[in-house]
Amino acid sequence: MMKFAKITLIAMMAFVAVFSCKSDDDIARFAELRDRGEQQVEDDAALVEFLSTHFYNYDEFDATNPESAANDTFTMTFGKIEGVNADKTPLIDQVEVRTTTYFDVEYKYYVLKLREGGGKTYTSFDQVNLTYRGQTLDLGTFDLRITEQSIPLISATQSTVRGFQLGLPEFKTAEDIIEGSNGFLQARNGGIGAIFIPSGLGYFSVPQPNIPEYSPLIFSFNVFSADFLDTDVDGLLSSMEDLDGDNDVLNDDSDGDGIPNFRDSDDDGDGTITVNEVVQKTYVVNPGDTEPVLASNELEKTRDTDDDGVTTIRTVVLTDTDGDGIPDYLDVN
């Protein structure tokens, strides 16, 4: 993974807290546990109010040529529409609305897409390398990372807040990492944007340093690169273990042992670990060569092209020895 120049920062918080409000102790601690549906109504009103009365520094972003190198170092800031800024365009005219169901509540969140990014796509289960700022609606900053951070959107032990997990994959990585004139590595044409999420897709009732409970959150960011995760190191990417394809890896547990597949190294619980029930393959494609044709039970995991144009493709074959349509790693018989 690329390392960017590091500057020592005060780490105010990491994305380690997720809905820890499961035990009676926690519920007692947060005595005023609110109804998610009612809180969402309140939060959405607050988000719409914020987006209607604030703008971002679009004067500093070259929207006529979003992919320009000049935009690579753009840092988003927000301001209130008033005084000398009274004629600014409000964010509400620039964001896109998204909906999602979470804990049985229909949530709305908002995405501001300045630049999608020219590199690869990743999923809600991969690691994103980015810079970002986290703010509450009063524009107080609770987290600021001005050098590249590697954030697994969900890992073996922790998860980012759901809104972050859903919003980030709308942006792609940089198309290239180049050495800038200052000797630092620079990301060329990476995703730039912001997400505005209700507390129900954030920390909800659990207060965090500089984040009161029930706070809608703003994250603005510049995406550099991403690493596809295989959390349980079983040869399948975490994104391949969302078997029902509902963009949630926590609800797929083939052997019912309480450990979701993406964290389970023996997915069918037959005593043979998954990595020994699938076959890994590597293809090297030289410039001008034709692409390999993958088998119907073969999935591409990664694809990397070096400076000479040589592409290395890694795949996994989901073998089905007895031909019953169930791949070996999920077949207990």
**Cα 92 from Cα 44, distance rounded (Å):** 12
Q: Least distance in Å: CB of 106 to Ca ion?
A: 19
Closest approach of Cβ 119 to Ca ion, in Å? 26
If 0-12 CB within 10 Å is exposed, 13-18 middle and 19+ buried, where does residue 39 land?
Answer: buried
Q: Which of 126, 148, 253, 331 binds Ca ion (CB under 5 A)?
A: 253
d(CA 240, CA 51): 36
Q: Which one, 126 or 234, has the nearer CB to Ca ion?
A: 234
Closest residue by beta carbon to Ca ion: 264
Alpha-carbon distance 46 to 201, whole Å? 14
User: Which is closer to Ca ion, CB of 57 or CB of 276?
Assistant: 276
When the beta carbons of 116 and 232 are compared against Ca ion, the nearer one is 232
259 binds Ca ion (CB under 5 A): yes
The alpha helices in 22-95, defined as continuous H runs, are 24-29, 36-53
**Shortest CB 169 distance to Ca ion, Å:** 15
Figure out which of the listed residues 20, 89, 158, 272 binds Ca ion, where binding follows CB under 5 A.
272
Of 51, 75, 82, 81, whose CA–CA distance to 61 is shortest? 75
215 is an interface residue for Ca ion by CB under 5 A? no
Please check whether residue 224 is in contact with residue 130, taking contact to mean a CB–CB distance below 8 angstroms: yes
Could you tell me the two tokens for 113? 């897409």
- Out of 227, 270, 298, 320, the only residue in the binding site for Ca ion (CB under 5 A) is 270
Of 73-81, 92-100, 182-190, 256-264: span binding Ca ion (CB under 5 A)? 256-264
Residues between 231 and 250 with contacts to Ca ion, criterion CB under 5 A = 232, 234, 242, 244, 246, 248
Could you say which DSSP state residue 160 is in? -
**Closest distance of CB 223 from Ca ion, Å:** 24
Q: Which is nearer to Ca ion, 65 or 333 (CB)?
A: 333
* 141 vs 138: CA distance, rounded Å: 9
Can you tell me the distance from the alpha carbon of 223 to that of 231, in angstroms, rounded to the nearest whole number?
A: 21
Residue pair 254/267 in contact (Cβ under 8 Å)? The answer is yes
Which CB sits closer to Ca ion, 143 or 264?
264
Q: How many residues bind Ca ion (CB under 5 A)?
A: 19
Contact criterion met (CB below 8 Å) for 223 and 174: yes
- Candidates 28-36, 42-50, 114-122, 252-260; binding stretch for Ca ion (CB under 5 A): 252-260
- 148 vs 266, beta carbon nearer Ca ion: 266
Cα separation, 175 vs 71, whole angstroms: 14
Q: Does 116 bind Ca ion (CB under 5 A)?
A: no
Contact between 320 and Ca ion by CB under 5 A: the answer reads no
